[in-house]
């Protein structure tokens, strides 16, 4: 795989779970099989890649299941939030790993695929811990959300017009602890890493690590990975083919190629929802600013190959 262009692919929620389908492992596996066909196409077009995925709905359901089980049986204590994050990273990674391997083999590409359980260091004093913003788990009506907030003390917020969800802290990723292992594997293996943004940990004075209750934004974790690996492209896949300003309004406008300065202006003008498009554009800006001459792309899973070939998506560059 040496000599190929390098890309970090960040998978959005629609790449793992289809709206309106039951949230079962079997239903998710069927969606991931389709997703991996597109990922295999990216590799077949001449790209080395690593894959980062989200885990918002999945980790929320794991936490909920743990809480329900603990209420039913004292011998089944609920696991801490960081452990639930590790669980989600493991089972989602397993499904992508299995399906991507098969999709590659069907293209006569016998490339190893591995899932690397990944810890990501965050700051203990990160202001995000005082202002939770990262949505997890299922959607609720406003009345249901208020009841859950009263009963469990959760912070519930409206999520981009789609309903109400529980939100947790979303601290900034500072360092991927297993990055050296990713670097060793890169030239021979497709690595699924920093799943769900990585398991958030703080680094203690003695160098040891301690898990914390948070969810790191997967787009920012993917950007951190892309910086560390100095990739050619950061490819952020979501539900729409292009980023748009004035979303949902008569003057909605799709963006094809914008500069970092233009993206920042649109962000400041409030065009992008905090729990939806904003972190994607923010991550793209961060990457393009770090590597003038390289690009970040935001597009849909289904247009990923076209976007890499310059035919689709929103491209963000320094100039």
Q: Which helix (H) or strand (E) holds 28?
A: helix 25-44
> Active-site residues: which are they?
13-14, 134, 218, 280
Q: What string of DSSP letters covers 126-176? A: -GGGGS--EEEEEEE-HHHHHHHHHHH--EEEE-TTS-EEEEE--PPP-EE
Task: Categorize the per-residue pLDDT at 19 as very low, low, confident or very high, splitting at 50, 70 and 90.
Answer: confident
Q: What is the pLDDT of residues 159-170, one digit of tens each?
A: 877 899 888 899
- 298 to 60, 68, 246: CA distances (angstroms): 25, 38, 17
100 CB-contact burial (10 Å; exposed 0-12 / middle 13-18 / buried 19+): buried
DSSP-assigned letter for residue 300: E
**pLDDT value of position 148:** 87
Q: How many Å apart are CA 308 and CA 284, to the nearest integer?
A: 15
DSSP 211-258: E-S----HHHHHHHHHHHHT-SEEEEEESSSS-EESTTSTT-EE-SEE
Dump pLDDT digits (tens) for 53-86: 999 889 888 988 998 898 899 899 989 999 999 9
| Residue 1 pLDDT greater than 80, yes or no | no
Mean pLDDT calculated for residue range 171-188: 97
**End-to-end Cα separation, the chain, in angstroms:** 30
The pLDDT assigned to 98 comes to 97
Nearest partner of 166 among 178, 150, 155, judged by Cα = 155
pLDDT for position 47? 95
Query: Residue 168 and residue 155: Cα distance in Å, rounded?
Result: 7
Using the CB atoms, write b or e for 274-306: b if 16+ within 10 Å: bbbbbbbbbbbbbbbbebeebbbbbbbbbbbbe
298-319 per-position pLDDT tens digit:
999 999 999 999 999 999 999 8
pLDDT digits (tens, 9 = 90+) for 192-237: 999 999 999 999 999 999 999 899 999 999 999 999 999 999 999 9
């Amino acid at each position: 795989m040496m000599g190929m262009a390098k890309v970090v692919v960040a998978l959005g929620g629609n790449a793992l779970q289809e709206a309106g389908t039951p949230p079962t492992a079997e239903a998710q596996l069927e969606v991931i099989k389709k997703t991996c066909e597109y990922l295999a196409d990216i590799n077949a077009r001449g790209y080395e890649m690593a894959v980062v995925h989200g885990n918002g709905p999945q980790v929320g359901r794991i936490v909920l299941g743990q809480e329900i089980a603990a209420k039913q049986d004292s011998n089944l204590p609920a696991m801490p939030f960081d452990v639930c994050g590790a669980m989600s990273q493991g089972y989602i990674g397993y499904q992508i790993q299995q399906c991507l391997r098969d999709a590659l083999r069907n293209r006569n590409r016998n490339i190893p695929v591995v899932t690397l359980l990944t810890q990501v260091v965050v700051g203990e004093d990160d202001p995000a811990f005082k202002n939770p913003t990262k949505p997890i788990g299922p959607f609720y009506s406003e009345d249901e959300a208020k009841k859950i907030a009263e009963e469990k003390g959760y912070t519930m917020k409206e999520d981009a017009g789609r309903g109400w969800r529980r939100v947790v802290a979303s601290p900034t990723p500072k360092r991927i602890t297993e990055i050296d292992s990713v670097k060793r594997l890169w030239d021979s293996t497709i690595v699924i890493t920093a799943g769900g943004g990585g398991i958030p940990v703080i680094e203690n004075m003695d160098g040891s690590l301690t898990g914390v209750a948070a969810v790191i934004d997967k787009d920012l974790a993917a950007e951190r990975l892309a910086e560390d690996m100095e990739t050619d492209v950061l490819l952020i896949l979501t539900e729409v083919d292009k980023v748009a300003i004035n979303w949902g309004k008569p003057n909605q406008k799709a963006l094809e190629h914008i500069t970092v300065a233009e993206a920042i202006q649109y962000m400041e003008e409030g065009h992008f929802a905090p729990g939806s498009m904003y972190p994607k554009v923010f991550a793209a800006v961060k990457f393009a600013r770090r590597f003038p001459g390289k690009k970040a792309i935001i597009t849909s899973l289904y247009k990923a190959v076209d976007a890499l070939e310059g035919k689709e998506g929103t491209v963000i560059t320094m100039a």
